[in-house]
Amino acid sequence: MARVLVVEDDQFVRSALIRHLSDASHSVRSVGTALEALREVAQIGFDVVVLDLGLPDLDGAEALKMLRGITDVPVIIATARDDETEIVRLLHAGADDYLVKPFSVEHLSARMAAVLRRSGSAAGSEPPDRVLRVGGLLIDPLRRQAVLDGAELDLTRREFDLLAFLAGRPGVVVSRRELLAEVWQQAYGDDQTIDVHLSWLRRKLGETAARPRYLHTLRGVGVKLEPPR
């Protein structure tokens, strides 16, 4: 069971989501505005937020930015906007996943389950307790800390999960399909999501795709993490 906040101003959609999620044994609260959502999140601990973009008081993208200022709770965007640039911008702003309307409640449930597994909210998801070392990189999965050449990296939850997964297999080329399955907990998805997160991670590691230090992409094969030579 998860504690879910549904932020949706369409009463019909809102009622359908509440009914389905409640039937699935989740604890559900709902609001119709961004400001109500911020107040709820500040006062109550949630496992996941389902956030509509077309809210009456604030655009959902602004609401997401404000949410990220007070919490790292997983946020699934529910939107009618299918523009690729907009989707990338939302991921960059801190969204954990997105669904383009109309979508089925079964699809939402599957995405929620995947997000909860990734965030560690699902039962039985314990991080390994050993510190990983790759060159000047130190990754502590238990404390969720990553240090590069003595300086701690400021990583998002997804960036850390991606880095830790690759660091646990140094020098091994990992396919995008495996990254989707193991890091995103999805059997299928958009490669662009992986590319966006790899790009952010490279920036924080002080490298680029053209001049890699740790992250090496093999076109058409996958990506590997290995120490600089």
Are 9 and 52 within one domain? yes
Taking the C-alpha atoms of residue 80 and residue 100, their distance in angstroms, rounded to an integer, is 5
Residue 19 shares a structural domain with residue 89 = yes
Per-residue confidence in pLDDT tens, the chain, 229 aa = 788 999 999 888 889 889 888 888 888 999 999 999 998 888 877 889 999 988 999 887 888 988 888 888 899 998 888 787 888 888 888 888 888 888 887 888 888 888 887 766 443 344 445 788 999 999 988 788 899 998 999 988 888 989 999 998 888 898 888 888 888 877 666 677 888 899 999 999 999 999 999 999 988 888 999 988 8
| Domain boundary, last residue among 94, 119, 144 | 119
- Domain assignment of residue 125, yes or no: no
Q: What pLDDT, on a 0 to 100 scale, did the predictor assign at position 224? A: 94
Residues 108, 136, single domain; the answer is no
Tokens of 157: 């939850």
Tell me the per-residue pLDDT of 182-208, one tens digit each, with 9 for 90 and over.
888 776 666 778 888 999 999 999 999
Q: Which of 119, 149, 175 is the last residue of a domain?
A: 119
Same domain, 79 and 147: no
Look at residue 127 and tell me if it is in a domain.
no
> Would residue 10 count as lying in a domain?
yes
Residues 95, 143, single domain; the answer is no
Please tell me whether residue 225 adopts helix, strand or coil conformation. Answer: strand
Q: Any residues with CB less than 8 A from the CB of 43 and at least 6 apart, and which?
A: none
Q: Is residue 151 part of a domain?
A: yes
Cα separation, 52 vs 76, in Å, equals: 9
Q: What does the alpha-carbon distance between residue 219 and residue 115 come to, in Å, rounded to a whole number?
A: 28
Q: What was the pLDDT predicted at 45?
A: 76
* Contact call for residues 68 and 94 (beta carbons, < 8 A): yes
Q: What is the pLDDT of residue 120?
A: 61
Q: Are residues 114 and 139 in the same domain?
A: no
Q: Does residue 101 share a domain with residue 71?
A: yes
Query: CA-to-CA distance for 201 and 156, rounded, in angstroms?
Result: 9
pLDDT value at position 51?
A: 94
What's the full length of the chain, in residues?
Answer: 229
CA–CA separation, 117 and 83 (whole Å):
27
My answer on whether 146 and 89 are in the same domain is no
Indicate whether 16 and 97 sit together in one domain: yes
Beta bridge partners of 132: 139
Question: What CATH number does the domain containing 63 carry?
Answer: 3.40.50.2300
Domain boundary among 88, 119, 150: 119
Query: What's the structural domain count of the chain?
Result: 2
158 falls within a domain:
yes
CATH number (domain holding residue 169):
1.10.10.10
Please name which of 205, 115, 119, 116 lies closest in space to residue 155, comparing C-alpha atoms: 205
**Can you tell me the distance from the alpha carbon of 94 to that of 68, in angstroms, rounded to the nearest whole number?**
7
User: Residues 100, 147: one domain?
Assistant: no
Question: Residue 139 is part of which domain span?
Answer: 132-225
